[in-house]
Structure 1
Amino acid sequence: MSDVIKEGYLSVKEDGLRAWIWSKRYCVLRDQALTFHRNEQSGQCVALIFLKEITSVTRTDLKPYCFETATKDKTYYIACKNDEELYGWMDEIYNRSTVGASGPTNFVHEVHVGFDPHTGAFTGLPDQWTKLLKGSAITAEDAAKNPQAVLDVLEFYTEQTKREAEEYGSSNLQGAVERMSDDRWDALIQESKQTQMPPQRPAPPRPAPPPPNAKRPQDVHDMMNDLSIKTPKSPIDPRYPGYGQKSPARTTSISTYDDRIMQEREKLEIELLEREKKLKEQERIREQQLQKERERERQREQEIREREREKAAQQVSAPKKKVEQRISTMTEAQVMDQLRSVVTAGDPNELYKKLKRVGQGASGSVYVALSLATNTKVAIKQMDLSSQPRKDLIVTEILVMKESQHPNIVNYLDSFLVRNNDLWVIMEYMEGGALTDVIDNNTMTEQQIATVCRETTAGLHHLHSQNILHRDIKSDNILLNAHGQVKISDFGFCARLTDQRNKRATMVGTPYWMAPEVVKQKEYGAKVDIWSLGIMAIEMIENEPPYLDEEPLKALYLIATNGTPTLKNPERLSRELKSFLAVCLCVDVRSRATAEELIHHEFLKKAGPLELLAPLLKFKK
């Protein structure tokens, strides 16, 4: 553990499609890492940059006192209050940064494991799973209670991390592993704060959204009574910096650490050095695995083609039934042909005038632009396809947005392919940003929650009516504009159900919002979006989804075993809201509501006009 070099509140945003969204973060710089926290009292960081991975620290004109810190896979924009603060942060970060190595990799094993009830231990676990289990918060009692759930979670976790690595490159995998697995880092940061700071007075409890009716009905369904999400309570609400007392200035002298902290520091530094030594070997093994997987895929495709030729030869006279090929199984050449059939011919520079670059990353840039035809603002994502490892995801997203024009879906306007590699995707501009920031900066009433849920449900009903699953519904992917309109965004993980594939079984989405059937790797349908909607409703009520403070593997275990989560203070909610959560978060998929059924739910009838949501955006002014 190292001393705090510099700390304070800054405005931060990451590059990407929603790159115009700035968030207030409490930033802490240490010898080896820069961490971002929701507020000064929050020990858990929401993002972490190892200084050895930083490739550049430069000033930018996005804001008057702004600089960008770039790694191989992501760029962070950090805005300060004045030049002195700006160059203070830039100098400290620059002086400690080095060019980092590639990220570590994860290994996926085909394993046959068992559980010995006499010893309470698993047998046949691969080394990677054993290390994950030892480093997690899953106890021996958890394993004895439901060993299959533990195995499901371990397999899910490794598969999910492998998929992220294949989609975004090996350097992203390191970030994913460090954010999700390196729980000790956050623990040490929090421990050092507690060591150096006097006890703080607990913050006052956050008031629950007031129900419209003062009188609470007595007859509540058993499922609604059981509903509550038990997440560890923090003495100060991490979403609201103003709730807690400001702590005294923290001393950075090493003498304030006791022997235990020094020992932890030495352990951490040794672990970091050992990890760095293993990076190259792990990268080599990963490349070998990917090469073997590509070879197996080519062999499978060849076998399929041979079987199809044999079948065609045997049934020459039989009528041929056209089977739609999934984009994810196409070759890169086929994907590019599909993309060319979707985009508009012509030069986009003649139709749009870029006003401001609001984001930049390895894959391209995001701009706010002006449509010369309509004189309205649009969002443009300009991507270099040569740096995109998963072009099929881009084509899928464009096709879904193009076919899903709806008032509650961020509308796709157009796309252009310039010189075969320069892709422009034009979408409507949502200046209000993500629902996540609204939750961070407001206490929402039940009527406002009902309004957001009504609009989101309408968008889901439209998608599901076209047999499209979104598969990543959460507050980050719900955007608002200045008029309070609510729209679903980010269709990179969506999927289409067909006659041949009326159920899906792939693992996608964000774990904390995932339905139990996804974590257990069972086949699933459109109702996974309904579960995620229920979790998002709890996020609006309690400011975070269930199990967010849990170590990730333990969170997955709890989702798989607990089923319907429980609320912290269910007695504060109206009967209608608890009923809505009950039908969304029903573990039995057959009993879980559909989007069409939710549209007529009594809770959504309490929703107000869209103008009711506009005041929630005052914090942005």
Structure 2
Amino acid sequence: MDKSQNFSDASEDEDDKNSSTSRNINLGPSGNPHAKPTDFDFLKVIGKGSFGKVLLAKRKLDGKYYAIKVLQKRVILNRREVIYSEQKHIMAERNVLLKNVKHPFLVGLHYSFQTTDKLYFVLDFVNGGELFFHLQKERTFPEPRAKFYIAEMASALGYLHSLNIVYRDLKPENILLDFEGHIVLTDFGLCKEGISQAETTSTFCGTPEYLAPEVLRKQPYDNTVDWWCLGSVLYEMLFGLPPFYSRDTHEMYDNILHKPLMMRPGASNTAWSLLQALLEKDGTHRLGSRDDFNEIKAHNFFSAIKWDDLEQRKVPPPFTPNVVNVLKRKNLYCG
């Protein structure tokens, strides 16, 4: 029995069949006019991104596995009340993917194509699971392991900033581990392009637990919001919850805006120094506000990190995921 064919049939819902559009969308340099869905065996759904499904697929030509993000064109073209917002998110993601294909800690886009109904983005398949999954399983990470992940995240964010892109949605669910244990950032739907160190935006977006105070206040902000998010993720890895977390969203927002950062046992002095510098409520005084990634690298917390080796993937990861059969894995997600 052809399982991939059955899967493909099952993935078509009635809305998909009844809402086709023949209008093409500009996919830019990544567009491959010769590619088509039948080039792949679609094996399983491995996650959902900002605006579509992500499928594990095996290319028939060479047997290689890819994560393919599939987006319905009707989402972009037919729903007038959300067309501008959603198309902006989808095209921002595509644009960011195009710019980052060679960075070691950002998911790479191989190419894209389209049919009458759908857009397809052929991405790296990253099979070590979400950082969120591993953190939920272990509750906290030892400081050396957290330091390794944070250093690789900072490198990826610094690279995005060098392209005048603010990531804006750093969280454990958007961070994958590859089969060796290196991190890979995914899901660029909330990225904001064209933001240099001296420029700002004021869009209210992101994940509540990790929102910087200036975002909550709807004030203009810049790439320093990413360094706040980095501090929030580091805090969560060390202590099990984001720094100002509450089940009550309004209380959590109030905590982010007004509650001082509380010191907790179990972290080194340099870790606390970094957390205090990253989780500075005034973005103009936050670590990274003057010289961006260079300030992060220079902090004592990273004194043992050899950044050139790290960015060449020469530093051995402190943890290697147990990568099982790709068809059995449940915590996969790409793009």
Q: TM-score range by the shorter chain?
A: 0.7 to 0.9
Q: Distance in 2 between matches of 1:545 and 1:462?
A: 25
Counterpart AA for 1:513:
Y
Match of 1:284? Answer: none
Match of 1:513? Answer: 210
Corresponding position: 1:376 with 2:64? yes
Residue 508 of structure 1: how far off its partner (Å):
0.7
The structure 1 residue matched to 2:124, chosen from 415, 418, 428, is: 428
The structure 1 residue matched to 2:96, chosen from 376, 379, 400, is: 400
Contact 1:347 1:418 in 2 (8 A): no
Deviations 1:177-209 (A, max 9, x none): xxxxxxxxxxxxxxxxxxxxxxxxxxxxxxxxx
Contact 1:340 1:417 in 2 (8 A): no
Q: Secondary structure at the match of 1:426?
A: strand
Residue 417 of structure 1: how far off its partner (Å):
1.3
Corresponding position: 1:352 with 2:50? no
Match of 2:296? Answer: 598
Distance 1:617 1:512, change over 3 A: farther
Residue 413 of structure 1: how far off its partner (Å):
1.5
Deviations 1:525-584 (A, max 9, x none): 00000000000001101111133334111111121122x5223x2x42112211221221
Residue 354 of structure 1: how far off its partner (Å):
2.5
Match of 1:367? Answer: 55
Q: Distance in 2 between matches of 1:505 and 1:464?
A: 17
Contact 2:164 2:193 in 1 (8 A): yes
The structure 2 residue matched to 1:548, chosen from 242, 245, 249, is: 245
Deviations 1:19-70 (A, max 9, x none): xxxxxxxxxxxxxxxxxxxxxxxxxxxxxxxxxxxxxxxxxx99xxxxx9xx
Which protein is richer in helix relative to its size? 1
Match of 1:614? Answer: 320
Counterpart AA for 2:319:
L
Match of 1:469? Answer: 166
- The equivalences for 1:79-118 within 5 A come to none
Residue 444 of structure 1: how far off its partner (Å):
1.2
Corresponding position: 1:586 with 2:283? no
Q: Distance in 1 between matches of 2:214 and 2:323?
A: 35
Contact 1:505 1:518 in 2 (8 A): yes
Q: Distance in 2 between matches of 1:459 and 1:518?
A: 22
Residue 498 of structure 1: how far off its partner (Å):
5.0
Residue 364 of structure 1: how far off its partner (Å):
5.5
The structure 2 residue matched to 1:491, chosen from 175, 178, 188, is: 188
Structure 2: gaps of 5 or more residues: 5-9, 16-22, 77-81
Aligned positions, number: 287
Structure with more relative contact order (C-alpha pairs < 8 Å, separation 6 or more): 2
- The equivalences for 1:173-572 within 5 A come to 337-339=25-27, 343-349=31-37, 351-358=39-46, 365-372=53-60, 375-388=63-76, 389=82, 390-405=86-101, 406-419=103-116, 421-442=117-138, 443-497=140-194, 502-562=199-259, 564-567=260-263, 569=264, 571-572=265-266
Counterpart AA for 1:392:
K
Q: Secondary structure at the match of 2:126?
A: coil
Distance 1:566 1:370, change over 3 A: same
Distance 1:375 1:548, change over 3 A: same
Q: Distance in 2 between matches of 1:387 and 1:589?
A: 35
Q: Secondary structure at the match of 1:530?
A: helix
Distance 1:565 1:426, change over 3 A: same
Q: Distance in 1 between matches of 2:24 and 2:322?
A: 42
Identity of aligned residues (%): 26
Contact 1:438 1:616 in 2 (8 A): no
Match of 1:286? Answer: none
Q: Distance in 2 between matches of 1:544 and 1:617?
A: 26
Match of 1:271? Answer: none
Q: Aligned-residue CA RMSD in angstroms?
A: 3.2
TM-score by length of 1: 0.42
Distance 1:336 1:597, change over 3 A: farther
Counterpart AA for 1:516:
P
Residue 497 of structure 1: how far off its partner (Å):
2.7
Counterpart AA for 1:557:
D
Q: Distance in 2 between matches of 1:364 and 1:475?
A: 19
Counterpart AA for 1:485:
H
Distance 1:584 1:551, change over 3 A: same
Deviations 1:350-395 (A, max 9, x none): 643333344589x754321123455421101222211344222111
Counterpart AA for 2:135:
I
Contact 1:478 1:488 in 2 (8 A): yes
Q: Secondary structure at the match of 1:483?
A: coil
Match of 2:18? Answer: none
